[in-house]
Amino acid sequence: METIPEQDASKVRRRVVLFVAPAVAFIALLAYGVAKAPAAPQIGERAPDFSAPLLAGGGTSSLEDFEGKPLVINFWASWCEPCKAEAPLLEEAHEAYRGQISFLGVDVRDARSDARDFVTEYGVGYPSVRDESRSIYRSYGLTGQPETFLIDSEGIVIDHVAGPLLRRDELFTMLDILVSRDG
Q: Can you give the CATH number for the domain in which 98 is found?
A: 3.40.30.10
Q: Per-residue pLDDT tens, the chain, 183 aa: give them.
A: 566 666 676 776 677 666 666 666 556 555 555 445 567 788 999 999 999 999 999 999 999 999 999 999 999 999 999 999 999 999 999 999 999 999 999 999 899 999 999 999 999 999 999 999 999 999 999 989 999 999 999 999 999 999 999 999 999 999 999 999 876
- Asked if 2 and 76 sit in the same domain, the reply is no
CA distances to 15, 41, 56, 77, 148 from 131, rounded to whole Å, are 43, 18, 13, 10, 15
Q: Residue 156 pairs with which residues in a beta bridge?
A: 46
Q: Are residues 66 and 31 in the same domain?
A: no
Note the pTM of the prediction, 2 decimals: 0.79
**pLDDT value of position 57:** 92
Predicted local distance difference test score (pLDDT) of residue 50: 96
Is residue 21 one of the residues assigned to a domain? yes
For the chain, the first-to-last Cα distance in angstroms comes to 84
25 plus 57 within the same structural domain = no
pLDDT for the residue 40: 78
Res 131: pLDDT: 96
Question: C-alpha 59: how far from its chain's center?
Answer: 22
Are 6 and 89 part of one and the same domain?
A: no
CA atoms within 13 A on the CB side of 51: 4
Domain annotation covers residue 106: yes
Whether 101 and 26 map to the same domain: the answer is no
What range defines the domain where residue 129 resides? 51-181
128 and 154: one domain?
A: yes
Flag whether 41 is in a domain. Answer: no
Q: What is the pLDDT of residue 63?
A: 95
DSSP assignment, residue 156? Answer: B
